[in-house]
């Protein structure tokens, strides 16, 4: 299966996920929401493994790579949730959505051959998605200090790029299903340790439970899609395509919530998809 297609599947799932968290973040404790999402995603991944009759955990090098991916994924998730809580979207989305630049750097360091035109296409995609995100946010200037928001966004970007690289390497050595399960389990264990330490309010309320469980399934499908690209050519391109989750969030908000999009935003969408199309050549 094409790495770009897997990345686009992940982007679509995370787009739906982010629409939900954008609205739930105002009424639901974020750590409680993340706990439900990670638990659901882990149960989903467990079901995938049981249906396919595979072993539950990877072994050897794959296990240690999955541990690293799990730590990175928890870092990425915490950064994402709390950065979006602070806002604004026009600041947070372009920073987090720029993680493919680091993914390309990881690929080059690992010995992959990335041509100049492919680098240019990735930069065009990142810039186009960032433009759409910046123009979508009508927030006023009365916002929390930018420094912590930028730091959280950068932390999330580094976490996502590291998760995808380590997860794909683990998938090459021990199978994508097992590697994704181990990544989820480590992320959940880390979050539980953090919750024991901080003892925050975790009461999410019954009305938020169904959306959060749905978000967990979407999150599980998305991460599995990106990590499954580990055994294919140019696995880093799955991470590049997945970075379009912010663009999908805005397009889905236009379709389901009736939010308006300007001409410049539509142009940014077209340019981003043209960039993806070029990478398929």
- Give the domain range for residue 25: 3-279
If one counts every other C-beta atom within 10 angstroms of the C-beta of residue 96, the result is 27
pLDDT attached to residue 48: 84
Look at residue 68 in the predicted model and tell me its pLDDT: 95
Nearest 10 degrees: Cα torsion 103, 106, 112, 114:
50
Q: Which residue numbers in the chain have pLDDT < 70?
A: 1, 137-143, 257, 281
How far apart (Å, rounded) are the C-alpha atoms in residues 70 and 183? 4
* Of residues 37, 39, 42, 80, the one with CA closest to residue 216: 37
- Tell me, what's the pLDDT at 65? 93
In the numeric block, the tokens 């908000």 are attached to 253
Other CB atoms within a 10 A radius of the CB of residue 206 amount to 6
Which two tokens mark 88? 């604004």
Q: Say how many Å lie between the first and final Cα of the chain, rounded.
A: 15
Calculate the CA dihedral of residues 177, 186, 219, 281 and round it to 10 degrees: -60
Q: Which helix (H) or strand (E) holds 151?
A: helix 146-174
What is the distance of C-alpha 216 from the center of its chain? 12
Total number of domains in the chain: 1
Long-range contacts of 134-137 (CB under 8 A, 24+ apart): 134/90, 134/93, 134/94, 135/90, 135/262, 135/264, 135/265, 135/268, 136/89, 136/90, 136/250, 136/259, 136/261, 136/265, 137/87, 137/88, 137/89, 137/90, 137/93
Q: Which of 37, 43, 86, 71 is nearest to 193 (CA)?
A: 71
Tokens of 161: 């790029």
């Amino acid at each position: 299966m094409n790495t770009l297609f897997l990345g686009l599947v992940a982007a679509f799932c995370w787009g739906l996920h982010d629409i939900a968290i954008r609205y739930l973040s105002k009424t639901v404790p974020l750590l409680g929401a993340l706990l439900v999402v990670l638990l659901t995603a882990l149960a989903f991944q467990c079901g995938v493994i049981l249906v396919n009759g595979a072993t539950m955990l990877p072994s050897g090098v794959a296990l240690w790579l999955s541990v690293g991916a799990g730590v990175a994924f928890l870092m990425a998730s915490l950064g994402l949730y709390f950065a979006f809580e602070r806002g604004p979207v026009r600041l947070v989305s372009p920073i987090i959505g720029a993680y493919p630049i680091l993914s390309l750097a990881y690929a080059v360091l690992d010995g992959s051959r990335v041509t100049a035109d492919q680098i240019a296409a990735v930069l065009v995609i990142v810039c186009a998605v960032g433009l759409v995100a910046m123009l979508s946010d009508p927030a006023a200037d009365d916002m929390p200090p930018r420094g912590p928001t930028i730091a959280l966004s950068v932390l999330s970007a580094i976490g996502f790029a590291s998760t995808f690289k380590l997860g794909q390497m683990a998938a090459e050595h021990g199978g994508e299903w097992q590697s994704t399960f181990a990544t989820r389990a480590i992320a959940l264990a880390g979050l539980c340790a953090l919750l024991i330490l901080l003892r925050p309010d975790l009461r999410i309320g019954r009305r938020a439970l169904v959306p959060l469980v749905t978000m967990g399934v979407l999150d599980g499908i998305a991460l599995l899609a990106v990590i499954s690209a580990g055994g294919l050519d140019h696995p880093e391109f799955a991470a590049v395509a997945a970075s379009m989750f912010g663009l999908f969030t805005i397009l889905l908000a236009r379709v389901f919530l009736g939010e308006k999009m300007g001409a410049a935003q539509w142009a940014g969408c077209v340019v981003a998809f043209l960039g993806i199309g070029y990478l398929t050549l």
